[in-house]
Amino acid sequence: MSGALRLVIFDVDGTLVDSQGDILAAMGEAFDAVDLPRPSRATVLGIVGLSLEVAMARLAPEADHARMVQAYKDAYMTLRAKTGAAQSSPLYPGARETLERLQSAPDVLLGVATGKSKRGLDKLIEAHALENVFVTRQVADFHPSKPHPSMIYQAMSDAGVKPQDTVMIGDTSFDMEMAAAAGVSGFGVSWGYHPVSALSAAQLVLDEFSALEGALQALWRASA
């Protein structure tokens, strides 16, 4: 293996944390705000990962999207305040341990790329005591929605890492399409919000966090 720095970028919702309860409830409030019937669970989870404005436009093309986005944000903050982010968006099994092991490797840097707002991501990271884990945090406030590659480009720039040494980890087709658009490797995960059949752009799909480190080592050995 070469001495190059490696960058592993994680999606958040559906990859690191299971936030579907709050997402579904907040989306229901957004549809209530514009007097539209609430969409199905599968429909809502199908747009997780997109920026809110883009998601609302897909779900309700003719509605007042600004009103829906504000209703969603208000509801999400209220729900999070009731139970706390660590409880309402728990880490998936093995996530913390995997992050800790990867962070301890001298040639590995970690980042996140998410459709969340900066405020939402900062609250979540604080709740899970992950403040010192990620060297780069890319959020919806400053980028076009996934699958545009802007988030990955900025993460690589922040970390000083080349595309061939970067891997995107995510649960949605948007994550894998973003990785492909940025020219980096993409690993899908099976425990998130898109079915595995939607992850056709992924180089491989992981069934548990414990498999990630071995998959990364195999990728990096092959590219060395």
Active site residues: 11, 13
Instruction: Give me the count of residues in the chain.
Output: 224
> Cα torsion at 129, 132, 137, 141 (round to 10°)?
50
Q: How far is CA 200 from the centre of its chain?
A: 17
* DSSP per-residue string spanning 122-190: HHHHHHTT-TTT-SEEE-GGGSPPTTSTHHHHHHHHHHT--GGGEEEEESSHHHHHHHHHHT-EEEEET
Q: How far is CA 204 from the centre of its chain?
A: 17
Of 51, 41, 58, nearest to 195 (Cα)?
Answer: 41
